[in-house]
């Protein structure tokens, strides 16, 4: 997800530099209040560890492909959010300078997209509430926190990439189509990264639990109930799904646009294809379309019986986010259960 220099306009790059710079400044100010002489070597070695860890491939069962670990959530869990953020910023700088992964002007945007969301949003809004909840099983807690943290923060990062590229005027791709391409790809990546992070943190918890920052800091009275955690997560899902879906365009997406055009908006039919006729003339295609119409309970992200209703789009966004959250939680549950069976 590293942004390249060429994808950003100077004004957007400067804005992202300012946002990341302020966050770095506040993090450094917080760290300077602590005994940094002790934390600095640990942060340095941990940054190098994340760098090395990212080079190791993990086989994804049943797919034949492989993925790697997520740095931000793991660093926040082990070092705390401020130290994790500064460490991630340093890793990104070294990647940018020595490996051309990202770019000098895109550095601010990359720090924001990959370090800010993972270290602050992921830690304060997802990881810490879940870790301090009264869920009894530590493995379930860690898995839930890691997977939801990685998935949600990566989705936010991918969404930021879309906004930054759109604001830079780089691509002709409509915003909705761009988001539609980016988000599902990063959902899959986030799930794999979340699972790898969860596996690592469970290992740390079982071998050296004192290393997990903040997990054991709160006493029993400060612990948040599962109900509160679920309410916070539900509100987050509603906000992200609800607000995000408002950005969804009523225009056709890029592929539809390129095939059929959008003559109501003044575009000519690009490939001369008629949406009504093309591809639906065969009996098989007709049958397939009928089945799709009948089974899609939210066609085109709106209510089936009222496609003009903007509320339908919002509700679809919320429902979609909720489905993603349920799928993530289900995977956590399966992973925890499988591990339990293996141990027994």
Partner 1 sequence: MNRITSAMMELMSMDELSRDSSFVHARNPLAKLIVTIIYIVAVLSFDITNLTGLIPMVLIPVVLFSLSGIEIRVCFYKLRIILPLIIFIGIWNPILNRTSALDLGLFVLTEGTLSFLTLLLKSLLALMMSFILVATTGIDGICAGLRRIHVPSIIVSLILITYRYISLLLTEAETLVTAYTLRAPGQKGVHVSAWGSFLGQLLLRSMDRANELYGSMRLRGFTGEFHYADNDKIDGTDILFTLICLIVIVGFRIVNISRLIGGIFI
Contacts with partner 1 in 236-265 (CB under 8 A)? 254, 257-258
Taking CB under 8 A as the binding criterion, the range among 101-109, 130-138, 239-247, 294-302 that sits at the site for partner 1 is: 101-109
Angstrom distance (rounded) from CA 267 to CA 254: 13
Q: How far is the CB of 289 from partner 1 (least distance, A)?
A: 25
Question: Using the rule CB under 8 A, which residue among 270, 286, 288, 292 binds partner 1?
Answer: 270
- Which of positions 187-216 make contact with partner 1 (CB under 8 A)? 195-196, 199-200, 202-204, 207-208, 211
53/299 with CB nearer partner 1: 53
Question: Using the rule CB under 8 A, which residue among 33, 61, 222, 341 binds partner 1?
Answer: 61
Question: Using the rule CB under 8 A, which residue among 18, 22, 26, 45 binds partner 1?
Answer: 45
* Residue that has been written with the tokens 């509603």 in this structure: 238
Binding residues for partner 1, how many (CB under 8 A)? 81
Question: Using the rule CB under 8 A, which residue among 16, 70, 75, 96 binds partner 1?
Answer: 96
Extract the tokens encoding 315. Answer: 């509700």
Q: How far is the CB of 161 from partner 1 (least distance, A)?
A: 9
Q: Is 111 in the site for partner 1 (CB under 8 A)?
A: no
Write the DSSP symbol of residue 221.
G
Interior/surface letters 102-111, b for 16+ CB within 10 angstroms, e for the rest: bbebbbbbbb
Angstrom distance (rounded) from CA 84 to CA 153: 14
- Whether residue 65 contacts residue 103, with contact meaning beta carbons closer than 8 Å, is answered with no
- Whether residue 274 contacts residue 261, with contact meaning beta carbons closer than 8 Å, is answered with no
Q: How far is CA 188 from CA 65, 184, 239, in A?
A: 12, 7, 21
Backbone angles phi, psi at 296, to 5 degrees: -75, 110
Q: Is 88 in the site for partner 1 (CB under 8 A)?
A: no
SS3 of residue 1 by DSSP? coil
Residues 6+ apart with CB under 8 A from 189: 67, 154
Q: How far is the CB of 89 from partner 1 (least distance, A)?
A: 7
Q: How far is the CB of 227 from partner 1 (least distance, A)?
A: 29
Taking CB under 8 A as the binding criterion, the range among 115-123, 168-176, 300-308, 318-326 that sits at the site for partner 1 is: 168-176
Q: Is 37 in the site for partner 1 (CB under 8 A)?
A: yes
Question: Using the rule CB under 8 A, which residue among 3, 121, 152, 332 binds partner 1?
Answer: 3
Angstrom distance (rounded) from CA 86 to CA 323: 33
Backbone angles phi, psi at 317, to 5 degrees: -60, -45
Q: Is 47 in the site for partner 1 (CB under 8 A)?
A: yes
Taking CB under 8 A as the binding criterion, the range among 85-93, 242-250, 289-297, 317-325 that sits at the site for partner 1 is: 85-93
Angstrom distance (rounded) from CA 140 to CA 329: 9
Output the DSSP codes for 182-214.
HHHHHHHHHHHHHHHHHHHHHHHHHH-GGGSTT
Angstrom distance (rounded) from CA 71 to CA 87: 9
Q: How far is the CB of 342 from partner 1 (least distance, A)?
A: 8
- Which of positions 135-154 make contact with partner 1 (CB under 8 A)? none
Q: Is 2 in the site for partner 1 (CB under 8 A)?
A: yes
Question: Using the rule CB under 8 A, which residue among 33, 52, 220, 222 binds partner 1?
Answer: 52
Q: How far is the CB of 283 from partner 1 (least distance, A)?
A: 31
Extract the tokens encoding 176. Answer: 């909705």
Sign, Cα dihedral of 280, 284, 290, 296? negative
- Which of positions 17-36 make contact with partner 1 (CB under 8 A)? 24-25, 28, 31-32, 36
Q: Is 73 in the site for partner 1 (CB under 8 A)?
A: no
């Amino acid at each position: 997800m590293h942004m390249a220099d060429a994808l950003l306009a100077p004004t957007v790059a400067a804005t992202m530099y300012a946002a990341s710079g302020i966050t770095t400044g506040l993090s450094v100010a917080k760290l300077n209040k602590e005994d940094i002489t002790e934390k600095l070597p640990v942060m340095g070695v941990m940054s190098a560890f994340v760098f090395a860890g990212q080079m190791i491939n993990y086989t994804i069962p049943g797919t034949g492909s492989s993925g790697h670990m997520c740095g931000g959530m793991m660093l926040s869990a082990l070092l705390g959010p401020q130290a994790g953020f500064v460490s991630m910023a340093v890793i990104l700088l070294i990647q940018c300078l020595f490996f051309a992964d990202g770019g000098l002007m895109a550095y601010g945007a990359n720090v924001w997209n990959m370090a800010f969301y993972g270290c602050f949003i992921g830690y304060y809004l997802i990881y810490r509430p879940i870790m301090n909840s009264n869920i009894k099983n530590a493995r379930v807690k860690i898995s839930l926190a890691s997977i939801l943290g990685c998935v949600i923060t990566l989705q936010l990062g991918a969404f930021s990439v879309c906004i930054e590229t759109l604001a830079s005027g780089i691509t002709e791709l409509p915003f909705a189509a761009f988001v539609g391409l980016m988000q599902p790809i990063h959902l899959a990546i986030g799930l794999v990264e979340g699972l790898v992070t969860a596996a690592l943190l469970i290992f740390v918890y079982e071998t050296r639990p004192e290393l997990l920052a903040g997990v054991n800091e709160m006493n029993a009275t400060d612990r948040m109930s599962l109900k509160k955690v679920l309410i916070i997560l539900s509100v987050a899902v509603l906000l992200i799904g609800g607000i995000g879906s408002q950005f969804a365009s009523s225009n056709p997406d890029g592929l539809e646009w390129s095939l059929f055009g959008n003559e109501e908006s003044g575009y000519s039919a690009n490939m001369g294809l008629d949406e009504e006729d093309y591809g639906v003339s065969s009996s098989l295609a007709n049958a397939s379309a009928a089945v799709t119409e009948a089974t899609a309970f939210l066609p085109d992200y709106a209510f089936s019986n009222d496609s003009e209703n903007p509320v339908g789009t919002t509700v679809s966004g919320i429902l979609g986010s909720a489905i993603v959250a349920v799928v993530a939680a289900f995977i956590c549950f399966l992973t925890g259960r499988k591990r339990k069976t293996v141990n027994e």
